[in-house]
Every structure is written in structure tokens, then in C-alpha cells.
Structure 1
Amino acid sequence: MANEEITKHGVLVADHSPHMAALVGVMLRSLGRKDIREAYDASRTLTELNRRAFDVLIINDALDSMDGVALTRKLRASLDCQNRHIPIIMMSAAPDAKRIADARDAGVTEFLRKPFAASHLQTRLTSIENNPRGFIEAGQYKGPDRRRRVIDVGDERRERDTESKAG
């Protein structure tokens, strides 16, 4: 790959359908992304993730040989992979609430229901860029902090709680 262009906004698209991967690639290019790689199965996805750094992984839930949730768990647990902390956007055609929760619990950062428009993809990418979440390793969970917002309870509340316990 002598002409390979590697930029700071590299995206890996993993989908078992080359047509869907290409469609997502077209959407990404329309949003200004230039460095886009495609993988069509779990093995190739893991090879690409171990080959070079990416900024985002966009993965289909239904990859061949290993589904997206299992691949996410494997990536998050892989201590020697440079993309272990990468934000992951999972795509799925018909997810139910349990599947979305499983994806979140595996370490998926954002979720997209198919079909989606480029604007939906842009919303997820903007969210990842503007609201980065720390990486958590606690017990069985390894992935982005699942809390989407931090609520400041303030010093006044803490003082009231301390006073009520003392009095």
C-alpha cells in the first residue's frame, strides 16, 4: 500500500456486507473523513486494529465468525492492542433493548440503528469528539465510562448531609 494515506482521523468500518461498508465509507467521506479502511469479518477487523491506530471503529453487530459484541469484548480485554481504548460505534438492523444493553456492557461507545443517514453518523462522531469519556476497568467491565453526564451535587448538599448526620 505505497499510496496509503494515514491521517489523524482514521476510521475502520467493519461490516460483513461490502456494500454496507462502502455506503458507510461514502457517508464518512461526505462528512470530510479521508482515511477510511474496511473489513468484512472479525479476523480482518482484528488484524487492522493491531496493524495501526484508528480514531474510531464503526462495527456491525452481525460480523461473520464473531459478532460485534464479542469482538468489542475481545478488543477491550486485549492489553497489547493500540486501539483498546478506541471509541466504538455499533450498527445494527434490528436491535432490541437487551442487545443494546449487551453492546453497552461490552464497551460500545455509541449505537446506530440501521438504516441511518449521514447526519445520524455525524451526531455520533460529534458526541465522541466533544464529550470524550474516560476508559474504565472495573471487575468484568472494560470500556468507556457509561455515565453520559456528571452531576455536581455541590458543597451545600454535602454540608447539609454532614450536619444532619452530626446533629
Structure 2
Amino acid sequence: MSRVLVVDDEPGLRRALSINLTARGWDVTVAADGGSALEAAASTHPDVVLLDLGLPDLDGLEVIAGIRGWSRVPIIVLTARTAAADAVDALDAGADDYVTKPFAMDVLLARLRAAVRRGEVPGGGGAEEVVDVDDLHIDLARRTVTRDGAPVKLTPTEWHLLQVLVGNAGRLVTQTQLLKEVWGPAYGRETNYLRVYVGQLRRKLEKVPGSPVHLITEPGMGYRFEV
């Protein structure tokens, strides 16, 4: 049973989400504000967090930053804000996805399942797949990356994106393919996601993020990992 932390200041929506998610087999914890959300995240260790941006005490971006300080748990932002800048700000802060209100429950459930899959660590037992290029050591089996011997902390979405690109090293991966592989089959046009997350990976992995040599953009088509 997957655990979800629902953070929203609207009592009716909290109750509706709790009832619907519980009925569909989720273990649900709810929080009405940012402070309670941070405490609940630390005490319950959810598999995914569903977070409203408009909270009474802390801004949702502050909650994302607080969780990201110690956890890679997938975070889906649930918000009535429809401006693209708000979504980009949330993704930049460390969120993995966002859903705007009002929403269809089946769409939300699909997003939650996809987020949990991205956050899962696959079981061991298989052969190790290791890529060494310049100062980077990427272990696909252990889901670890080091740069100059120092561990690089990646969010689940950053890791999944890198995994797809490295697994297709030297080959173009189209924008549509990346979106469907990393975010799920319901995605295909959200190219701003790719710009945000590839930018974050470049800042973490490239010696000169503005002049990447490994994470290459093929304008209008997709991305390629060069070894």
C-alpha cells in the first residue's frame, strides 16, 4: 500500500481526497498547513506528497524546499494558480509534477501512480550498469551519480530523466518520448518540464552548464547524452 501525504487548507477538499484515495487503496495522511506538512513528511515518510501551494502559514514553495532539504520523495503540486510561471517556480523548487484545480480524480490518480513509480528503487540482483565519462560516474543499477568522486543528489524525476538519456547514450531521444517515459503516457506537450529539468541536470553534472558537452539539446526535436 502506497502512502500519500495530502496538504491542503480546504477542509472539504482534504476530506474528499482522503475518502477517495483511501477507497482506492492508498494510506492517506492529511495536513492543513505547511508546518504540519513538514512534520508529517518527517514522521510518516510518504511515498508521494500532494501539496497545495496556497497555504495559510508557509508558501508551498517553502514547503517544497523544506522537504527537499532531506528527502527525494516525489512531490505533486495541487494548485488553483494557472499561470505558467507558478508551475515553473514549483518545478524549479523541486516539485516533480503539478495538477491544477479543478481536476479529474482519474487524472490525479494516474499522476500519483506515475510519481510513486519514479520514486521507487528497483530491486537488486541484476548486473551493474556503469557509465564513466570525464569526471562523472553513473551507476544505473544503484541509482547513484558521483562527480569528481563526490555524490550528486538528484530528485526522482531528475534521476529518471538522466536514466532514460544515459540508457540511450549517443542517440536522440525525442521530447515526446522523454515526457511519456518520465512523466507518463498522459504527457507529450509539456516541453517546459524538459527545459527545467535538463537545466537542473546541467547545473549538477556539467562543468560549464551554459556550454554542455554531455546533455545536448537537439533544437525542436529532443535531447541526447554524449559520452
> TM-score, structure 2 length as denominator?
0.54
Identity over aligned pairs, percent: 26
The residue correspondences of 1:139-154 to structure 2 (distance < 5 A) are 143-146=155-158, 148=161, 150-151=164-165, 152-154=168-170
Query: What letter corresponds to residue 77 of structure 2 in structure 1?
Result: M
Any unmatched runs of 5+ in structure 2?
Answer: 121-142, 148-152, 172-227
Match of 1:85 among 49, 54, 72: 72
Counterpart among 100, 103, 121 of residue 108 in structure 2: 121
In 1, the alpha carbon distance for the partners of 2:72 and 2:93 equals: 12
How many residue pairs get aligned? The number is 140
- Tell me the equivalent position of 2:126: none
The reply on whether 1:95 has 2:82 as its aligned counterpart is yes
Residue in 2 that maps onto 1:59: 51
Q: 2:4–2:28: 8 Å Cα contact kept in structure 1? A: yes
Give the one of 41, 60, 65 matched to 1:68.
60
Does the Cα contact within 8 Å between 2:38 and 2:66 map onto a contact in 1? no
Cα RMSD of the aligned pairs, angstroms, is 2.8
The structure-2 alpha-carbon separation of the partners of 1:137 and 1:9, relative to structure 1 and needing over 3 Å to count, comes to: farther
8 Å contact kept, 1:136–1:144: no
Q: Deviations over 1:104-159 (max 9, x none)?
A: 01111121111112111111122123344879999xx963444747232448xxxx
Q: Deviations over 1:24-81 (max 9, x none)?
A: 1122123221x2111101111112122222111111011111111111012112x4xx
Q: Which structure 1 segments of 5+ residues have no match?
A: 1-7, 156-167
* TM-score (normalizing by structure 1): 0.71
| Aligned-pair CA distance for 1:88 | 0.8
In the alignment, residue 106 of structure 2 is paired with which amino acid? S
Matches within 5 A, 1:16-27: 16-27=9-20
Partner of 2:39: 47
Distance 1:113 1:53, change over 3 A: same
Compare relative contact order (CA 8 Å, sep 6+) and give the higher one, 1 or 2.
1
2: distance between equivalents of 1:57 and 1:74? 13
- Which secondary structure does the structure 1 equivalent of 2:56 belong to? coil
User: Partner of 2:6: helix, strand, or coil?
Assistant: strand
